[in-house]
């Protein structure tokens, strides 16, 4: 699939219920790392995507910046886009400044966005991102993928792996 990505704007990968059996399913993590294109992962039971309500999982990384840029065609069509950065209490002012920068970038690209929810640091980053997506009734999450090494995520867990495994909504991920 990664080889065919040279002629694609977006790769769409279904999240298989049988993902535990790697011989019978596509590894979306490998696709994200190798394709050089954004990957839209679709959970089981999702039949369509309107991308009306989108949550951007922001972290000031190359991967997140690329994901936002890659998602611009969908973000422009959305009726509501929220930007969320999970921050520690001591970093909330800096987090708000980073979110404001992203909001200005989106405004220059005619993206309608909601006043983002206050940054949280209560649970895991993926858990908080999924909680806010549910709260916002989002049908799409946009995020950078594998900001840490894949080995590090495999050893210690990570946001990308958790989104692949647990997200009830589609995720557009870029590396």
CATH number at residue 83: 3.40.50.12370
Other CB atoms within 10 Å distance of the CB of residue 93:
10
At which residue do the structure tokens 């065919």 appear?
A: 4
At which residue do the structure tokens 């929220």 appear?
A: 82
Residue 28 neighbours by CB under 8 Å, 6+ apart? 13, 15, 39, 41, 164, 173
More confident residue, 115 or 108: 108
pTM surpassing 0.85?
Answer: yes
pLDDT in tens, 147-171: 765 555 554 458 888 898 899 999 9
pLDDT in tens, 55-85: 999 999 999 999 999 999 999 999 999 999 9
Structural domain boundaries, residue 144: 3-174
> How many structural domains are present in the chain?
1
């Amino acid at each position: 699939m990664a080889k065919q990505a040279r002629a694609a704007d977006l790769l769409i990968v279904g999240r298989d219920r049988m993902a535990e059996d790697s011989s019978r399913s596509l590894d979306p993590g490998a696709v994200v790392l190798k394709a050089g294109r954004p990957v839209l992962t679709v959970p089981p039971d999702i039949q369509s995507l309107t991308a009306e309500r989108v949550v951007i999982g922001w972290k000031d990384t190359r991967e997140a910046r690329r994901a936002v840029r890659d998602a611009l065609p969908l973000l422009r069509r959305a009726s509501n886009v929220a930007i969320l950065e999970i921050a520690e209490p001591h970093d909330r002012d800096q987090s708000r400044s980073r979110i404001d920068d992203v909001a200005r970038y989106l405004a220059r690209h005619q993206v309608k966005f909601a006043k983002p929810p206050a940054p949280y640091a209560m649970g895991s980053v993926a858990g908080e991102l999924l909680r806010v997506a549910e709260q916002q009734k989002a049908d799409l999450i946009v995020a950078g993928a594998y900001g840490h090494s894949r080995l590090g995520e495999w050893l210690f867990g990570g946001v990308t792996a958790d989104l692949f495994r647990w997200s009830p909504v589609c995720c557009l991920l870029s590396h």
